[in-house]
Copies of this chain bind each other. A is one copy, B any other.
Amino acid sequence: MIQSKPQTEDPEVPNASNLESLVGYNLKRAYLVVQEDFRAALGEEGLSSRVFAALTLTVENPNITQSALAKMLGIERSGLVAMVDFLEAKKYLKRTPVPGDRRVQALVPTKIGKAAHAELIATVKAHEDALFVEFTAEEKRSLLSLLRKIRSVGDKA
């Protein structure tokens, strides 16, 4: 007969839900915590984390194409259009014609965009430093390493 009482395989968390032993569930819950703090740190008018990521990669890789950027972000190119529209409207980058292939629009960060990005990076790093203040350096290293390992599993699939 099926027990209705909470079961667990994790002896360190007595009576925990089955969900507590699942990486997927814990990843989602943890992500939401960090995401919410990210939003709070950047404020009401702040960039979303996805637009921040797009700006970061553009500043780090000037003249990147939208297709290449979408690939780096792991999203479809169609999803990038509105983000690039937004960043261009803010004068953070320019769509720029590429000599030799008139299909391509390279993304070039502006001076304003680079300055804004430098400030944003500082703000975001401060938000994570504050949020993870109870984590040792070794714990943060370990966490990042394990998360990257999950991504590498996904790359093979």
Contact = CB atoms under 8 A, between A and B. Distances in A.
Interface stretch (A79-87, A98-106, A137-145): A137-145
Nearest to A151: B29
A95 interface: no
A23 B147 contact: yes
Q: Is the interface of A mostly helix, strand, loop or mixed?
A: helix
14 contacts: A2-B114, A17-B56, A20-B148, A21-B144, A23-B132, A23-B140, A23-B147, A27-B27, A28-B35, A30-B148, A30-B150, A31-B31, A32-B74, A143-B146
A26 B147 contact: yes
Interface in A19-45: 19-38
A68 interface: no
A4 B151 contact: no
Given A49-B24, A140-B23, A29 B147 contact: yes
